[in-house]
Amino acid sequence: MTATMIKEFRLPDLGEGLTESEIVSWKVGVGDTVSLNQIIAEVETAKAVVELPSPFAGVITALHEQPGTVVEVGKPIVSFEVKDDAGIQPGPAAPAEAPLPKREPNLVGYGAVVESTGRPVRRQRTLLTPAETKAPVVEPVDTKPAGTNPAERPRSTPPVRKLARDLGVDLEKVAGTGPGGLISRDDVRNFVGGGDLPAAAQELAAPQSAAARGDREVRTPIKGVRKFTAAAMVSSAFTAPHVTEFLTVDVTPAMELLARLKESKPFAGHKLTPLTLVAKAVLIALRRNPGLNARWDEANQEIVQFNYVNLGIAAATPRGLTVPNIKDADRLTLVDLSAALADLTDTARAGKSSPEDFSGGTISITNIGVFGIDAGTPILNPGEAAILAMGAVRKAPWEYQDQVALRQVMTLSLSFDHRLVDGEQGSRFLADVGALLADPAMAFAMA
Amino acid sequence: MVTDDAGQGGTAAGRDNKTGHQGGAGHSMVQLITPAGERVSHPEYDPWLKDVSDEQLCSLYEDLVVIRRIDKEATALQRQGELGLWPPLLGQEASQVGSVRALRDDDFIFPSYRENGVAYCRGVDLADILRVWRGAASGGWDPYTVNMAIPQIVIGAQTLHATGYAMGIQNDGADSAAIVYFGDGATSEGDVNEAMVFAASFQVPLVFFCQNNHWAISEPVRVQSHTQLVDRGTGFGIPSMRVDGNDVLAVMAATRVALDRARRGGGPTFIEAVTYRMGPHTTADDPTRYRDANELEDWAAKDPIGRVHALLDRKGLFTEEFETGVRTKADAVARELRAGCIGMPDPEPLDVFKHVYSTPNSWLDRQQDHYSRYLATFGDPEVATQEEGAR
């Protein structure tokens, strides 16, 4: 006899002490026959992306979670139909337990889990009888079922909470009619129909606008690079007091230089852009103003002065904002710098930057000019003392040799960490960068 | 020199090297089978392998394959929630097989947590190997049944235990020896350095077997040492050898040289087996976050199993029948491992009191008594009520 049975596979703790993981992708579909240890899914934990080998040989009957969902450890994620082979059943079956919630004994010395009364006392759990939870159909909306702890959030299920959130309903105000005061979908709908809602919410609740409702907001879980970026920004913005200074420069000479260089032999085949020259100007100006190439080391109460420049370049990538850096950029010739910049942006956009590319940056440049923007107040890349935003190069009427002429101008925005960079240092640095772009020959004077 | 000197991370470790010798600065690496499977003759080490017949070469190959299979199955069991953690040994098979197969039954092994291949070759029961990783026991086996201690999790601490054990051998006047396994990172630990001081001072019969797998979790070996690790042994006045850890014969020969010295009263030996951890540090680690994929590729070309396969091929020993036999054996071991793991009974709460002291201990008995009464309050309600009333 080859009877079959359904086996559920619950998400295990794939690391040490992890509570959840994200299903990245399924490698199998419902109805597929899989062998033992065949890879069935890719799962991302807080520590790693790992492959899940099938624990059974059998047929997939259900995938309980969609790719992209974050699943709690212990929740079923996939079901199998397997041959009922007693030979591979694990050990003796667990003894049947009473349906009452059971407290787990804990080891000596580890302290009691829930009890705070000293000696362990068996606790009688009583279930609420239906009579006690009689539906408060016409009672005021803030009535809670008897015995409910006021601090406890209203009892409901995730889909109902989602419905309430979509409808703008505060569940605290809804009376639940289910067992134990459980709020159901109908309770939420009835509440909305009750008429003490904002007009907009009522409109939303109307069935005919359901499709429109779906389109008006898109909720994207905060995770991955976005989550990391947000944390880094918050940490930077609220630990380093930022100061931002602006300088608008006539960069016509620099643009002329750029055009000449592009024609010259050594730069044949190289990608020269305004960013290349701004980067070089920053590197030259840093030699005279090394204080901006530094880091505030809070833990050690030290200011770290870098004698090298790892130049970060903010790059918009499909995965979000990243700031890979060019190692020892101060030692590169202009040709090598242009190559390094091209390489860095290509790698970042392809999403292939390695962790090393992101670590150890000492100062950064963000090119907001490519989006047609003039100025901004950039937030420091955490751990760095300065970041320069370069604006768009625009033709504008500008003072030139005591006349108004149409010139190419650019605005530079420099944010610096005021804990270790004073206004004087920051201003001198920005003025130097500006001077180099306004008159590249100044490089002779500064280099 | 063609070895991967400190400072080079995981680059070219195993090219042809026919001048391996021991002692002196700038150790070259002993290699007897090239990655291409060519048997390189070596006047100094060949005599130690005279007895290795074709049949034994085949059985070494089988062990290498079976260990890799155990490792793979255990990794899968962890991903399936059957093990809490597993430290893969992928890539280090030759270091483990070559060294353990050089030992006598009365020699004693002190492993770290990654020597699960050593445990298999030593005859530890398959389920016992997994017991601790399943969280079903604090230690998987009785060390004296196989003369192998249980895995040491504390980095390098076992070197001190091994030194002490070897001093005991000395006091007994026996001619057995001890071997202690540790990694590259452990050589930076105080315990390991203290152990080498004592082992050298007392000239104990001990083999310090360092598997330099190039990564201490995410820390490359180059940031831990500005010299080759083998020079650390030399620094304590311990004769030291550097061998290709992906070459099962070189490892076996070097271990035999060291054991022979130990048995003759010549004191400790330090062996640096240059190998590579192809997998993560443990199943909770993601090496792609810190390791270059090219490095992995370079080492895949020096695979310990591939080169023995090629050597057997050259000798005409790698027949279809042999291959099938090895695969059948590996499959059977994997099945037994899985069944032993899944069928392992959970320990009883009171088991925690076992194996604490070898003799009765009144203080512990008292705790056990209290704990069993506490547990009883979860059982029969009437018993619990009577207990309440008695108070």
Residue B78 domain-assigned? yes
CA distance A355 to A323: 11
Per-residue pLDDT at A298: 86
Residue A173 domain-assigned? yes
Residue A156 domain-assigned? yes
B256 and B385 belong to one structural domain:
no
Position A251: which residue type? Answer: V
A208 and A238 belong to one structural domain:
no
| Higher-pLDDT residue of A214, B189 | B189
B317 and B383 belong to one structural domain:
no
CA distance A7 to A54: 12
Alpha helix ranges (H) inside chain B: 54-79, 93-100, 116-122, 126-131, 143-146, 157-172, 190-202, 230-235, 248-263, 293-300, 304-314, 320-342, 362-376, 381-390
State whether B79 and A51 contact (CB < 8 Å).
Answer: yes
Q: Provide mean pLDDT across the span B56-84.
A: 96
Q: What are phi and psi of B112, to 5 degrees?
A: -90, -160
State whether A53 and B76 contact (CB < 8 Å).
Answer: yes
Q: Are A47 and B285 in contact (CB under 8 A)?
A: yes
CA distance B249 to A188: 74
Distances (CA, A) of B112 to A176, B209, B245: 58, 11, 17
Per-residue pLDDT at A137: 38
The per-residue pLDDT for range A371-397, each reduced to its tens digit, is 899 999 999 998 899 999 999 999 999
Residues of chain A neighbouring B84 (CB-CB closer than 8 A): 13, 16
Residues of chain B neighbouring A353 (CB-CB closer than 8 A): none
* Residue B290 annotated to the active site: yes
Residue A152 domain-assigned? yes
Which residues are CB-contacts of B6 (< 8 A; sequence separation ≥ 6)? B221, B222, B225, B226, B227, B228, B229
Q: Does residue B9 surpass a pLDDT of 70?
A: no
Residue among B79, B264, B290, B374 flagged as catalytic: B290
State whether A13 and B289 contact (CB < 8 Å).
Answer: no
Q: Are B162 and B206 in contact (CB under 8 A)?
A: yes
Q: How many helices and strands in chain A, by DSSP H and E?
A: 11, 19
A290's enclosing H/E stretch is none
The per-residue pLDDT for range B12-34, each reduced to its tens digit, is 333 333 333 333 445 789 999 99
Residue B297 domain-assigned? yes
The residue out of A49, A70, A85 marking a domain boundary is: A85
Is A420 part of the contact surface with chain B (CB cutoff 8 Å)? Answer: no
A429 and A363 belong to one structural domain:
yes
Considering the entire predicted model, what is its pTM? 0.57
Residue B40 domain-assigned? no
The residue out of A175, A198, A216 marking a domain boundary is: A216
Q: What CATH number does residue A182 fall under?
A: 4.10.320.10
Residue B32 domain-assigned? no
Per the structure, the count of domains in chain A is 3
Distance from CA of A7 to the nearest CA of B (A): 13
B163 and B63 belong to one structural domain:
yes
CA distance A359 to B263: 51
The residue out of A216, A236, A251 marking a domain boundary is: A216
B263 and B318 belong to one structural domain:
yes
B333 and B368 belong to one structural domain:
no
The per-residue pLDDT for range B207-247, each reduced to its tens digit, is 999 999 999 999 999 999 999 999 999 999 999 999 999 99
Position A423: which residue type? Answer: G
Mean per-residue pLDDT of chain B: 90
Is A12 part of the contact surface with chain B (CB cutoff 8 Å)? Answer: yes
Q: What CATH number does residue A287 fall under?
A: 3.30.559.10
Residue A112 domain-assigned? no
CA distance B258 to B243: 12
A420 and A348 belong to one structural domain:
yes
The per-residue pLDDT for range B294-339, each reduced to its tens digit, is 899 999 999 999 999 999 999 999 999 999 999 999 999 999 999 9
Residue B21 domain-assigned? no
CA distance B193 to B159: 9
Residue B19 domain-assigned? no
- Which of A7, A36, A37, A352 best tests the B interface by mutation, with the highest count of B CBs <10 A? A37
Residue A91 domain-assigned? no
- Binned average pLDDT, 10 residues per bin, chain A of 447 residues: 84 85 92 94 85 94 92 93 62 39 44 38 40 39 42 77 85 84 86 58 46 64 76 85 94 94 88 94 95 91 93 82 90 94 87 81 93 92 93 94 94 95 95 96 87
Per the structure, the count of domains in chain B is 2
Q: Kindly state the tokens that stand for B370.
A: 């209290």
Q: What CATH number does residue B171 fall under?
A: 3.40.50.970
The per-residue pLDDT for range B337-385, each reduced to its tens digit, is 999 999 999 999 998 898 888 888 999 999 999 999 999 988 755 554 5
A296 and A427 belong to one structural domain:
yes
Position A303: which residue type? Answer: I
B325 and B355 belong to one structural domain:
no
Q: Which of A437, A226, A443, A196 is nearest to A333 (CA)?
A: A443
Per-residue pLDDT at A356: 81
Per-residue pLDDT at A85: 62
β-strand pairing of A403-417 with A242-250: antiparallel
A341 and A429 belong to one structural domain:
yes
B133 and B194 belong to one structural domain:
yes
A336 and A393 belong to one structural domain:
yes
A279 and A170 belong to one structural domain:
no
Per-residue pLDDT at B41: 94
Give the DSSP letter of residue B40.
P
B365 and B297 belong to one structural domain:
no
A238 and A207 belong to one structural domain:
no
Is A113 part of the contact surface with chain B (CB cutoff 8 Å)? Answer: no
A202 and A261 belong to one structural domain:
no
A402 and A288 belong to one structural domain:
yes
Residues of chain B neighbouring A14 (CB-CB closer than 8 A): 78-79, 283-284
Which percentage of chain B shows pLDDT scores above 90? 82
B220 and B336 belong to one structural domain:
yes
**Is B326 buried (19+), middle (13-18) or exposed (0-12) by CB count in 10 A?**
buried
B213 and B135 belong to one structural domain:
yes
Is A157 part of the contact surface with chain B (CB cutoff 8 Å)? Answer: no
What range does the domain containing A55 cover? 4-85
State whether B286 and A49 contact (CB < 8 Å).
Answer: yes
Residue A284 domain-assigned? yes
Per-residue pLDDT at A18: 81
B371 and B230 belong to one structural domain:
no
Distance from CA of A126 to the nearest CA of B (A): 16
CA distance A267 to A69: 49
What range does the domain containing B362 cover? 349-390
Q: Are A50 and B79 in contact (CB under 8 A)?
A: yes
Residue B18 domain-assigned? no
B115 and B220 belong to one structural domain:
yes
Residue B388's pLDDT band (boundaries 50, 70, 90)?
A: very low
Q: What are phi and psi of A405, to 5 degrees?
A: -130, 160
State whether A355 and B289 contact (CB < 8 Å).
Answer: yes
Q: Provide mean pLDDT across the span B117-121.
A: 97
Residue B336 domain-assigned? yes
A155 and A290 belong to one structural domain:
no
Per-residue pLDDT at A228: 76
Q: Provide mean pLDDT across the span B165-185.
A: 95
Torsion sign over Cα A370, A375, A379, A380: positive
A286 and A201 belong to one structural domain:
no
Residue A308 domain-assigned? yes
